[in-house]
Amino acid sequence: MSVFERPGAVRLFPSAHAGRGLPVEQAVRAWVTAAWLLAVEGRAYVEDLAGGADQPQLRQVVRMRLLELLLAVDWQLAGCAPPADEHQLALALEFGLGEVADLDGAELIRLFALDTGLGGDGADAVDDGAVPELWDRLCAAFPGALPDPLLASGQRAVLQALRSWSALCTAARIDASFLEPLLKDA
């Protein structure tokens, strides 16, 4: 039984659904940044995960990068500055996530198949845990449409999203300069 099918299944974006949030300026920056990370960087990792079916070590690295990305999104949505790189994974496995998904460290280890290891004859048998399912559910539960740059029409959708986010910043009287690095990546 999937962690998403059992009673008391994982809640996605629990703070947002509970009505808790950040001050307007910080919230706009956090949600736009989260949307970018999920839509652009995250989808690329998920595609790498699927494309590396015969490369278990690559898949393990990609799962770790996806977990690190979810941590970055979690801290953005919490309004926190991330800790130093060398402490991030340890803190995630100790305290779990709270903004992206209600997951503790043990659940993250299981979902991201971090306890399977590599080596020996069974290395090719390592699966990706529930990562693809978690990712699909996160994208579907995100409050707003996430552009998919991996589709043929995706670049247009990314540029439209950036225009919409810029307009949102203007309407909320927020300096949209934080969008500049995203524009360069687009």
pLDDT at position 180, please? 87
Structure tokens at 25: 């300026």
pLDDT, tens digit (0-9, with 9 covering 90-100), for 36-59? 999 989 999 999 998 887 888 888
State residue 8's pLDDT score.
Answer: 54
What domain count does the chain have?
A: 1
Q: Is residue 87 part of a domain?
A: yes
Would 4 be classed as within a structural domain? no
Is 37 a domain residue? yes
For residue 160, being part of any structural domain is answered with no
Q: What is the CA radius of gyration of the chain?
A: 17
- Let me know if residue 152 belongs to a domain: no
Examine residue 155 and state whether it is found in any structural domain, yes or no.
no
pLDDT of 173 above 50 = yes
Please choose, from the candidates 183, 59, 185, the residue with its C-alpha nearest in 3D space to the C-alpha of residue 125.
59
CA atoms of 68 and 89, how far apart (whole Å): 7
Domain that holds residue 85: 14-146
> pTM to 2 decimals?
0.85
Q: Per this entry, what is the length of the chain? A: 186
On whether residue 105 sits in a domain, the answer given is: yes
Q: Is residue 77 part of a domain?
A: yes
Q: What is the pLDDT of residues 93-146, one digit of tens each?
A: 999 999 999 999 999 998 998 887 654 444 455 677 689 889 999 999 998 889
Angle of helix 131-141 relative to helix 56-78, nearest 10 degrees, comes to: 30
